[in-house]
Amino acid sequence: QLQLQESGPGLVKPSETLSLSCTVSGGSISGSSYYWGWIRQPPGKGLQYIGSIFYSGSTYYNPFLKSRVTISVDTSKNQFSLKLTSVTAADTAVYYCARSTAMVNPRFDYWGQGNLVIVSS
């Protein structure tokens, strides 16, 4: 059974960089046809797509966040990571990593349990 697990700090100061990792177990990131994505959910609000990466390193970012987002992959660790720069209180959210079946017309069929990140001094 595929499992995804987010990890990273739960508190980040304003203007600093938010960094999270997602470790995949029960399957390999490498050589598969899947994309690996990040989605966030502010408390009490809806889901917002952040971006996705293919094992080869190809990335797609939400245009509204693109200037601040970097997603990378480490196939040797079966992990992919998110960096979000210059954070503000508006970036406070539960951050989910998830597997998507494709980049065009994707569906997210496996999700991590989520990592709450609070932006506060």
Partner 1 sequence: SFELTQPPSVSVSPGQTASITCSGDKLGDKYACWYQQKPGQSPVLVIYQDTKRPSGIPERFSGSNSGNTSTLTISGTQAMDEADYFCQAWDITTYVVFGGGTRLTVL
Q: Considering beta carbons, is residue 16 or 108 the nearer one to partner 1?
A: 108
Shortest CA distance to 106 belongs to which of 5, 27, 33, 31? 33
* Three-class DSSP labels, 56-110: CCCEEECCCCHHHEEEEEECCCCEEEEEECCCCHHHCEEEEEEEECCCCCCCEEE
Nearer to partner 1, 29 or 99 (CB): 99
Should residue 54 be labelled a site residue for partner 1 when binding is judged by CB under 8 A? no
Nearer to partner 1, 89 or 116 (CB): 116
Residue 113 interacts with partner 1 (CB under 8 A): yes or no: yes
Among candidate residues 18, 19, 51, the one with its CA nearest the CA of residue 35: 51
> Which residues, other chains included, contact 58 with Cβ-Cβ below 8 Å and sequence gap of 6+?
none
Question: Which C-beta is closer to partner 1: that of 31 or that of 44?
Answer: 44
Q: How many residues bind partner 1 (CB under 8 A)?
A: 24
27 binds partner 1 (CB under 8 A): no
Contacts with partner 1, residue ranges (CB under 8 A): 37, 39, 46-49, 52, 60-63, 96, 100, 103-109, 111-114
